[in-house]
Chains A and B, each alone.
Chain A
Amino acid sequence: MLGRKGSKLKIQPKRVSKDSLMGNEVKYIVEPQDFLFGETEAEKLELDCGQRFGPVNIRYETYGELDAGGNNAILVLHALTGDAHVSGYHGVDDLKPGWWNDMIGSGKWIDTEKYFVVCSNILGGCSGTTGPRSINPETRKPYNLDFPIITIGDMVKAQYRLMKHLGIKKWLSMVGGSMGGMQALEWVTRFPDAVGSVIPVATTARLSSQSIAFDWVGREAITADSKWREGNYEQQVPEQGLATARMLAHITYLSDESMANKFGRELQESGSYSFGFGRDFAVESYLQYQGQRFVERFDANSYLYITRAMDYFDISADSDGDLIKALENVKSSFLVIAFSSDWLFPPAQSHDIVNALLKNGVDVSFCEVQSGYGHDAFLLEVETLGRMVSDFIRNRYQEICND
């Protein structure tokens, strides 16, 4: 994965094919694509920190086809540890589909027979897009901590380049949960003419002190791991630190209720206390498993950079904290969705967004979905979310087609 060079432009955005039947299930095979830009000084990406950065590779996947008018493009924005692989399978033998496979696909809530869906790995990520573990062409070594500090806005600027590359003039809609929702808010403020409608889910207009605190502890766990070596780890990655960061974060994605339902005080193997410090409880075992799994697919330095980008996220930073003013140039219509038991980005933070939009006379709908799943609800309440997302986008598409 390190520094993989982008295969050159494939303009025809048609990469989903119906493939082999597995039982009753048709596996949709999607081929990840790469878009490389910023190789010349002029083309480099101007980052919020002031630095000009390049080259940048963007790993992305597309589903469905762009219609003749270019009106049916939907951008899906992934969360902290997501990637471009949002739906379908990479190969026939692939066991796990993309992370939002229940939501997106042929005949699904976001129907790829009708819409052209794009999802790209964020700048700073570790799933194909240029990030801290990519090879710095100047040194031929991984950037590690020489990678510039990036913001959510920088991620969006990179996505904007991809949009131009794909020949899309305006997104019919974009949808993102958690950090994906933050990107969506950056889109509508930085590129108001490029976004027809937007669906921020379980998100916030600025990262709260509580979330910054969790991010800090997560990064502390990574940097305190002796294998981290100031970011210059090689074969021996700081597994323990990254797993701890993940376990901590994972708790914030759940809720008291969902943990009580899932684990309660259930004991792991022995059925009685070990009178030691090993894994007695089911919840401990679960967290450890989550931590281990995460280490296999995610990079520690990326985790540092992306959480920092979230810390810096405040859509109202340029307007002295005035959210109403920050959203005054917005031209997109909104569907804002929050979840009742989400304590990482509580519904009140969505209320703030909604109220500021209303004060600006923006077309907005808002639903606080009753769910016990906590922040993770945005991936679990597929049916409720799907209905709203699908109807909302259908109505927006109809408006455009009637115009």
Chain B
Amino acid sequence: MINSLKEKLAKRPDLLKMADIITDNASVLDLGCGSGSFLRLLRASKKIRGVGLEMNQDKIIECIANGVNVIQSDLNTGLHFSDDSFDFVVLSRTLQAVERPDLLLREMLRVGRKGVISFINIGYYRARAQMIFRGRMPETKILPSRWYNTDNIHLCTMNDFRALCQELNVRITEEIPLGHKPAWMMNMRPNLFAPICLFVVERE
């Protein structure tokens, strides 16, 4: 069962990496949990206790069918949990779509001890090349929308995110560039060669 759940997430290397980071029996809040596949995987593989937040009604219905606790909720209105309610708060590829990424990051580390965040790195060389050579806003496979109709209103680079963490007194404990081969290039210059990146953060 765990393998079939992993297969479902094969196209999401960031989620599979996150699943490795999350420890056994942890409590997990998944922000933007979709149909709940990730929480289901964590429950099967790590025996976690989890809840997801999601906006889309059809996804919520799927979560309920999947036996995953889900709350219909808008991430822009804060997280309605007590301080330190969770061991991990997960935010995968959604940071760039919220109104105030800084406020959400702060909320994540209020309700959880660790934040696990993946996002699309707009510092990726292909995105940069589009800016430099075409003089146009980047459009890539993971960013297929046009600048005027995209949900990704707050794209940032890895350097931008590091700077934000510093401003908010957030400690970065892990930094994992993802999605580019050869890996040595990506590991040498992550901000240039990683299309996606994953950060594990906690309060200072």
Contacts and interface: CB of A to CB of B under 8 A. Distances in A.
Interface of A: 335, 351, 354-355, 358-359, 361, 363-370, 384, 387-388, 391-392, 395, 398
Q: Which of B60, B69, B81 has the most CB of A within 10 A?
A: B69
B57 A358 contact: no
Interface in B58-95: 60-61, 63-65, 67, 69-73, 80-82, 85
A367 B73 CA distance: 9
Dominant secondary structure at the A interface: helix
20 contacts: A351-B80, A355-B80, A358-B71, A358-B81, A358-B85, A359-B80, A364-B51, A364-B69, A364-B71, A365-B69, A365-B71, A366-B72, A367-B57, A367-B60, A367-B70, A368-B57, A370-B57, A384-B57, A387-B65, A391-B65
B203 to A, nearest CB: 21
A6 to B, nearest CB: 39
Contacts of B72: 366-368
A384 B80 contact: no
Contacts of B63: 365
Contacts of A392: 64
Given A358-B80, A359-B81, A388 B69 contact: no
B60 A359 contact: no
Interface residues of B, number: 17
Contacts of B61: 367, 384, 387-388, 391
Contacts of A364: 51, 69, 71
A359 B82 contact: yes
A370 B81 CA distance: 24
Contacts of A368: 57, 72
B52 to A, nearest CB: 9
Dominant secondary structure at the B interface: mixed
A366 B81 CA distance: 14
Given A365-B63, A366-B71, 7 more contacts: A354-B71, A355-B80, A365-B64, A365-B71, A387-B65, A391-B65, A395-B67
Contacts of B82: 359
A242 B173 CA distance: 67
A395 to B, nearest CB: 4
Contacts of A367: 57, 60-61, 64, 70, 72
A365 B64 CA distance: 8
A395 B65 CA distance: 8
B75 to A, nearest CB: 15
The 10 closest A-B pairs by CB, nearest first: A395-B67, A391-B65, A355-B80, A366-B71, A367-B60, A391-B64, A365-B70, A368-B72, A388-B64, A367-B72
A351 B78 CA distance: 13
Contacts of A355: 80
Contacts of A335: 64
A367 B65 CA distance: 13
Nearest to B29: A358
Contacts of A369: 57
Contacts of A359: 80-82
A145 B95 CA distance: 61
Nearest to A388: B64
Contacts of B67: 391, 395, 398
Nearest to A338: B72
A368 B69 CA distance: 14
Contacts of A370: 57
A359 B80 CA distance: 8
A364 B51 CA distance: 8
Interface in B103-122: none
A366 B60 CA distance: 8
Contacts of A363: 69
B48 to A, nearest CB: 13
Contacts of B57: 367-370, 384
A351 B53 CA distance: 13
A370 B57 CA distance: 8
Nearest to B58: A384
A335 B61 CA distance: 11
Nearest to A398: B67
Nearest to A356: B80
Nearest to B57: A370
Interface in B23-57: 51, 57
Interface in B127-173: none
Contacts of A395: 64, 67
A398 to B, nearest CB: 8
A363 B64 CA distance: 12
Contacts of A391: 61, 64-65, 67
Contacts of B81: 358-359
A325 to B, nearest CB: 13
Contacts of A351: 80
